């Protein structure tokens, strides 16, 4: 039986929940930072057959560090307790799920809104609310619509309007919904979008006036349900980007070369008739069951609404994912973007591994899109870096005035550090390394959530 790389190395799940206080720090944490650095990812329990295990299906586990007054007050990791997780841990279930078929532990995103903490996923599965200390409250109604849709993992907060936007889809249906919530999470508007063929609409983009929708050849397939990942590549289906007014209405579609959008870096309006969309693009034929075989790149689309055309261009050939931007510039013109070179998209390791020391799943990238340059902060061959999150400095200043935070595996300790980089001195020594007592497996998404309980 071949080894499942997503159950070993830096992907291997941790088996215990840990709480630690007054964490040791090398360097100095910026004194004004007050909040939690949170990240979630799959952390499976009770894998029956490692050979067929799909990494993205593991129960969600949240990892968090509480920072205040230059100190790292605590670290916690907690499973998101749905019924199956509670059963495995020998704990009582906390109420009855709204739909037993969708009793799935969210594992894609963790975010804060209006003083509450949420774990989110996609495909019609409810968000779960967590306490400030990351314990599970249970399924909640964030973004819930009369049709049973709810906030999706890649909901987008608009700091200019205070709205939270979500594009919700459900497995096996042709209807997606653009859900608009106010600053406290109450649903303000719902716009139906009919997309025949049920494409995998993992992400979307937002500008000042428009919502941008990704319709790709990756589509729902009931035949693939037994494999755990119910999506397959339809070579006959074109890739398209749709443009819809934020207030709803008809969608105008523009055809693209075949691809799957991993995630959006940012999108903005360039004059009255042009839209610029920067995305991480997975190549034609991408297989969600073989994530490590993909080589995603950073691409740009320039949509000319007047001419009805799209210009596609490559911004960076380097394999990368999990793009992030200064949130103050979300949906607006911007200069800097950040991404991770992650092991998720590296070939399997082994005795004959001849990859170069630099650039393998151990770097964070800073893109200067105005100058067309890229800086890389390398952490060393045997390190493993997760998504980097931009945290703006205390007072609004230059676009890159702030920090990039990420969990990075320290092979010498066999545990992880929370690394804080200066975004303006990106290749310099980290401002701080918070030494965690445990390993944080490579996972998915997270956020800096400012403020005390």
Residues 6+ apart with CB under 8 A from 274: 302, 303, 304, 305
383 falls in which pLDDT band (50, 70, 90)?
confident
Q: What's the number of CA atoms in the CB half-sphere (13 Å) around residue 240?
A: 17
Q: What's the number of CA atoms in the CB half-sphere (13 Å) around residue 380?
A: 8
Question: How much of the chain exceeds pLDDT 70, in percent?
Answer: 92
The H-or-E segment that residue 88 falls in is helix 83-88
pLDDT of 105 reads 93
pLDDT of 119 reads 98
pLDDT of 259 reads 93
| Locus of tokens 């799943």 | 361
User: Which tokens is 155 given?
Assistant: 């909901």
pLDDT of 202 reads 94
Cα dihedral: 372, 255, 284, 313 (round 10): -10
pLDDT of 348 reads 43
* Mean local confidence (pLDDT), 76-86: 94
Residue 358 has pLDDT above 80, yes or no: no
Separation between Cα atoms, residue 161 and residue 421, nearest integer Å: 29
Scored b (16 or more CB within 10 A) or e, 302-315 reads ebebeeeebeeeeb
| Predicted confidence (pLDDT) per residue in 273-316, tens digit | 999 999 999 998 888 777 777 889 999 999 999 999 999 999 99
Residue 97 has pLDDT above 80, yes or no: no
Residue 359 has pLDDT above 60, yes or no: no
* Mean local confidence (pLDDT), 378-402: 90
Residue 102 has pLDDT above 70, yes or no: no
| Locus of tokens 């969210």 | 106
Q: Angle 197-199-204 (CA atoms, 0-180°, nearest 5)?
A: 140
446 falls in which pLDDT band (50, 70, 90)?
very high
Separation between Cα atoms, residue 31 and residue 137, nearest integer Å: 31
Average pLDDT, the chain: 91
Residue 227 has pLDDT above 80, yes or no: no
pLDDT of 342 reads 77
pLDDT of 54 reads 81
The radius of gyration of the chain from alpha carbons, rounded to an integer in Å, stands at: 21
Q: In this structure, what are the phi and psi dihedrals at residue 292, rounded to the nearest 5 degrees?
A: -65, -10
Q: In this structure, what are the phi and psi dihedrals at residue 313, rounded to the nearest 5 degrees?
A: -145, 155
Residues 6+ apart with CB under 8 A from 332: 160, 207, 208, 268
Question: How much of the chain exceeds pLDDT 90, in percent?
Answer: 75
Separation between Cα atoms, residue 285 and residue 304, nearest integer Å: 27
Q: DSSP string spanning 391-412?
A: EE-SS--STT-EEEEEEEEETT
* Mean local confidence (pLDDT), 377-405: 91
pLDDT of 346 reads 58
The H-or-E segment that residue 367 falls in is strand 363-368
Q: What's the number of CA atoms in the CB half-sphere (13 Å) around residue 258?
A: 13
């Amino acid at each position: 039986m071949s080894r499942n790389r997503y159950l070993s190395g830096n992907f291997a799940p941790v088996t215990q929940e840990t709480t630690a206080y007054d964490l040791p720090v090398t360097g100095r944490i910026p004194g004004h930072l007050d909040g939690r650095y949170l990240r979630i990812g799959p952390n499976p329990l009770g894998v029956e057959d490692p050979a067929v295990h799909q990494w993205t299906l593991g129960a969600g586990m949240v990892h968090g560090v509480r920072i205040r007054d230059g100190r790292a007050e605590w670290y916690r990791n907690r499973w998101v307790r749905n019924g199956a997780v509670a059963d495995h841990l020998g704990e009582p279930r906390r109420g009855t799920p709204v739909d037993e078929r969708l009793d799935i532990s969210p594992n894609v995103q963790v975010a804060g809104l209006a003083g509450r903490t949420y774990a989110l996923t996609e495909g019609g599965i409810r968000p779960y609310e967590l306490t400030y200390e990351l314990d599970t409250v249970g399924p909640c109604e964030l973004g819930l619509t009369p049709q049973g849709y709810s906030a999706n993992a890649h909901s987008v907060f608009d700091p200019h309007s205070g709205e939270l936007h979500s594009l919700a889809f459900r497995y096996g249906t042709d209807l997606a919904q653009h859900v608009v919530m106010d600053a406290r999470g109450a649903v303000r508007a719902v716009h139906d979008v009919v997309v025949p063929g049920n494409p995998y609409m993992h992400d979307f983009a937002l500008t000042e006036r428009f919502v941008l929708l990704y319709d790709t050849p990756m589509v729902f397939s009931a035949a693939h349900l037994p494999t755990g990942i119910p999506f397959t590549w339809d070579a006959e289906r074109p890739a398209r980007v749709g443009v819809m007014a934020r207030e709803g209405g008809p969608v105008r579609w523009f055809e693209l070369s075949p691809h799957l959008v991993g995630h959006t870096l940012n999108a903005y309006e360039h004059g009255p008739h042009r839209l610029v969309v920067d995305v991480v693009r997975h190549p034609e034929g991408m297989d969600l069951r073989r994530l490590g075989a993909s080589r995603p790149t950073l691409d740009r689309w320039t949509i000319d609404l007047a001419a009805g055309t799209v210009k596609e261009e490559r911004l960076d050939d380097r394999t990368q994912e999990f793009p992030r931007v200064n949130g103050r510039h979300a949906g607006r013109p911007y200069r800097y973007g950040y991404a991770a070179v992650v092991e998720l998209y590296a070939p399997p390791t082994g005795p004959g591994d001849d990859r170069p020391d630099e650039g393998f799943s151990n770097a964070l990238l800073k893109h200067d899109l105005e100058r067309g340059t890229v800086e890389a902060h390398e952490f060393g061959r045997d390190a493993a870096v997760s998504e980097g999150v931009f945290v703006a400095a205390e007072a609004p200043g230059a676009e890159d005035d702030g920090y990039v935070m990420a969990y990075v595996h320290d092979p010498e300790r066999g545990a992880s550090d929370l690394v804080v980089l200066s975004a303006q001195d990106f290749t310099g020594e980290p401002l701080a390394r918070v030494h965690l007592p445990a390993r944080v497996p490579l996972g998915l998404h997270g956020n800096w959530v400012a403020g005390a309980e």
